[in-house]
Amino acid sequence: MAVMTPEKPTSAMPRHALVPQRPSRTAVLIAAAGGFTVAFAVAYLLFVRTAGGQLAENGVVRTAQTLRGATVEWAEPLTGLDLVAVLGGAGVVIVLLAVVRRRFALGVTALVLFLLPLAAAQLLKIYLLDRPDIGSAGGGPSHNSFPSGHVTAATAVLLALAVVLPARFRTWVLAVGAPGVAWVAAATVALSWHRLSDTVGGSLLVAAVVCAGAAVVSARRPDGGRIPPVATAVALFGPVAVVAAGYAVLASATSVPARFVAALVLAAVSSVAVVLLAAGPLRRVNFDPSGARNRVRGGDPR
């Protein structure tokens, strides 16, 4: 008598077919770098290259120039800061943190991402960008001040520290440091050093450079194949929304004093928004280009 045995299935579905693809970290970083870059250009075009933008911001500058005493006392500490000394000290701290963590390549990466936006801000402000003299919007300083060097420096220090510190502390560092950037941004407006657009441009420039650098590092490692639609859309369109909202609020203010107050608030809020928009894509990035710890022993990185 023949014994019937159950037939084996001729084909089986691979187990990995049921596992969903991981979201692509690099895709979100590329979207963030593009979003911050586009927002930087939009801020320049809206505020600097249009009569409406110049008119709104020049009124804020004139108001700030007339303020004295207690009104801007909260911003006065910024006048006593030596920016060169602060940046030099920040560079030393970045190097020391890399040495303490024994990650030499990470320290070099953090320094590059720290210095590059500082150099780019000066190059753009002095040599490449200009502030046209639009007759109907006269009354303010005619020299170009976009983007703000002070806000660029504050944002660069914060993001460089977030890069060189362990990733588990990155979100906390950005959340705690964002109010400091907000104070610098609002103070430069209150002291009539910069316009709202200058402060927003400084933050956007740093975020664009750091996210672009993170995308380069991330692309060298295994990554997910799925593009997360929500995270990518926020990274791409969020920065432009911040700029557009700031322009709409400032332009709609009904009086010069109201515009001045709005500019202070918007400078602070916009800088925080930019830092937080950058925090999401940067949260899990390993910025060490070697992919492993580079231990510094006897002066030689390994």
pLDDT digits (tens, 9 = 90+) for 10-44: 555 455 555 567 888 999 999 999 999 999 999 99
**258-285 as b/e: b if 16+ CB within 10 A:** ebbebbbbbbbbbbbbbbebbbbbbeeb
Of 203, 173, 221, residue with least CA distance to 275: 203
Of 121, 301, 79, 300, residue with least CA distance to 205: 121
The predicted structure's pLDDT at residue 197: 97
Q: Sign of dihedral through CA atoms 153, 158, 159, 161?
A: positive
- Does the pLDDT at position 282 exceed 50? yes
CA distance 112 to 108: 6
The predicted structure's pLDDT at residue 8: 54
CA distance 249 to 57: 12
Give Cα separations from 51 to 57, 58, 113, 200, 255 (angstroms).
Answer: 10, 10, 35, 19, 17
The predicted structure's pLDDT at residue 2: 52
- Does the pLDDT at position 4 exceed 70? no
- Does the pLDDT at position 141 exceed 80? no
> C-alpha angle 191/197/203, rounded to 5°?
95
Contacts of 101 (CB under 8 A, 6+ apart): 164, 166, 293
8 Å CB contact between 146 and 129: yes
Mean pLDDT of 164-187: 94
Bridge partners of residue 226, in order along the sequence: 23
Could you give phi then psi for residue 301, rounded to 5 degrees? -70, 140
What is the length of the chain? 302
